[in-house]
Amino acid sequence: MNWLLDKVATRVFRTGNLTVTDAGGATRRYGDGSGTPLHVVINNRRTERAIALDPMLAVPEAYMNGGLDFAEGDPLALMQTVYTNLDQAGAEALVMKLGEGMRYVFRRFQQLNTASRSKRNVHRHYDLSGELYRLFLDEDMQYSCAYFERPEATLDEAQRAKKRHIAAKLALEPGQSVLDIGCGWGGMGLTLARQFDARVLGVTLSEEQHGVAAERARAAGLADRARFEIADYRSLAGPFDRIVSVGMFEHVGINHYRTFFDKCSSLLADDGVMLLHTIGRTTGPSVTNAFIRKYIFPGGYIPSMSEVLPAVERSGLILTDVEVLRLHYAETLRHWRERFMANRDKAVALYDERFARMWEFYLAGSEATFRWQNLVVFQFQLAKRRDTLPLTRNYIAETEERLRAAEAAGGRLFHDAAE
């Protein structure tokens, strides 16, 4: 085995039950033998060298390209073992994270998300076949963190709860105008149009998402209230009574936070409310995972709260509420991963084995980071005036209950159900 890889593995993997078979067929064991056995097979010397030099990129890349396989266990089990030991490894962990430190120096260059570059980045991920996303998403095609009101909730139930939770925080009144920045396949916008009789404009840079969202609006008879366009948020004009953005801010990039919030402030009515739902990190500023940046979300970045709030404060917006959803995305990704694996043969048929392996590692690695590392979801509620919203948060639960009643009654408009 590569001497550097063996040395690092010996120092880092103090717990667990990891077996590695190297390119020559020799087997080494690491950890204290506790837990479920995990057996990794490295198929060539080139993969050994790559993992020794840059494991955070090379391991998922090797699995994707067939240079690494699992005789026992899977990518999720591997990531659990890695993260558990990194938390305990202290100085030894610096060897595995050296590449991440070098990437921090260049992170701003990697996130120069101009309008044209943003569209290219979106195309790389969101313009994949809609059939792929239907393999693992819920019935409403919600590609963001769900909200598990009960641990045993199904994915569909949790995604409906997420939409209720966000709608309640918007304090939306019937007939108001809503801007949905990064509208995805239209689920949130259609829900607000249906439940509140809102006038919704949803914008996306994805051709695929735009086509699906517009067709859904027509099929639901909501095209007069829910309009979807291909547009960059920087090109829009307001004002809007409400702004919602779910799972889009991760693509803005740290160079553009001031631009984003300044633009949102100019688009929001003086008595308006904005709800921003974004992945965040509990630790300080960092760098995008190399595998995710290269293969999944080019130009993307997960912010710390300390990177977001200065841009909010300078924009003239007021932070009126913040909620941290901790394990909700881990559970969401568990559902997605299990659904994807149940339909893995269909993903291979849509693309190929390499793509399926890439997607498998992406879902497993993301779940692991939310479950055992530092990723969470932030929900920032923003306004321009301090008296726009009620004095207490009671209205959120009250509105959610009314929305549940409306759904149970067949999806009548919120103001009808509340009368």
Instruction: Write the pLDDT tens digit of every residue in 256-276.
Output: 999 999 999 999 999 999 999
Using alpha carbons only, what angle is made at residue 294 by residues 42 and 57, rounded to the nearest 5 degrees? 30
Query: Is the distance from CB of 406 to CB of 191 less than 8 angstroms?
Result: no
Q: Which residues pair with 280 in a beta bridge?
A: 376
Domain match, 243 and 354 both: yes
Q: Can you give the pTM of this predicted structure?
A: 0.91
User: Is 162 contained in some domain?
Assistant: yes
What are the residues whose beta carbons fall under 8 Å from the beta carbon of 383, sequence distance 6 or more?
Answer: 272, 273, 274, 317, 318, 320, 389
Q: DSSP labels for 294-318?
A: III-TT--PPBHHHHHHHHHHHT-E
Domain match, 69 and 204 both: no
Which amino acid, residue 402? Answer: R
Distance CA 203, CA 419 (A): 32
| H or E, element range at 230 | strand 226-230
DSSP state of 248: -
Does the pLDDT of residue 120 top 70, yes or no? Answer: no
> To the nearest whole percent, how much of the chain has pLDDT over 90?
79
Domain match, 254 and 143 both: yes
Over the stretch 141-199, which tens digit does the pLDDT of each residue have? 999 999 999 999 999 999 999 999 999 999 999 999 999 999 999 999 999 999 999 99
Tell me, what CATH number does 353's domain have?
Answer: 3.40.50.150
User: Is 110 contained in some domain?
Assistant: no
User: Is 108 contained in some domain?
Assistant: no
Confidence of residue 312 (pLDDT cuts 50, 70, 90): very high
Domain match, 90 and 226 both: no
Kindly state the average pLDDT of the residues 382-396. Answer: 97
Query: Is the distance from CB of 246 to CB of 182 less than 8 angstroms?
Result: yes
* Final residue before a domain boundary, out of 63, 96, 129: 96
pLDDT at 395: 97
Task: Choose between 95 and 193: higher pLDDT.
Answer: 193
Most trustworthy range by pLDDT among 79-88, 106-115, 370-379: 370-379
User: Is 325 contained in some domain?
Assistant: yes
User: Is 106 contained in some domain?
Assistant: no
Distance CA 241, CA 400 (A): 20
User: Is 210 contained in some domain?
Assistant: yes
Which amino acid, residue 383? Answer: A
Over the stretch 186-242, which tens digit does the pLDDT of each residue have? 999 999 999 999 999 999 999 999 999 999 999 999 999 999 999 999 999 989 999
Domain match, 393 and 300 both: yes
Using alpha carbons only, what angle is made at residue 45 by residues 44 and 50, rounded to the nearest 5 degrees? 105
Q: Could you tell me how far CA 360 lies from the centroid of its own chain? A: 15
pLDDT at 110: 53
**Pair type for strands 27-30 and 18-21:** antiparallel
Tell me, what CATH number does 77's domain have?
Answer: 3.30.1050
User: Is 309 contained in some domain?
Assistant: yes
Q: What integer best gives the mean pLDDT of the chain?
A: 90
What are the residues whose beta carbons fall under 8 Å from the beta carbon of 149, sequence distance 6 or more?
Answer: 157, 158, 161
Kindly state the average pLDDT of the residues 19-25. Answer: 95
Does the pLDDT of residue 321 top 70, yes or no? Answer: yes
User: Is 262 contained in some domain?
Assistant: yes
Confidence of residue 412 (pLDDT cuts 50, 70, 90): low
Considering only 34-48, 185-199, 293-307, 386-400, which range has the smallest mean pLDDT? 293-307
Distance CA 24, CA 369 (A): 32
DSSP state of 235: G
Counted domains in the chain? 2
Domain match, 384 and 291 both: yes
Kindly state the average pLDDT of the residues 395-403. Answer: 96
Residue range of the domain that includes 345: 115-418
Domain match, 122 and 271 both: yes
> Tokens 């530092």, residue?
374
Domain match, 128 and 251 both: yes
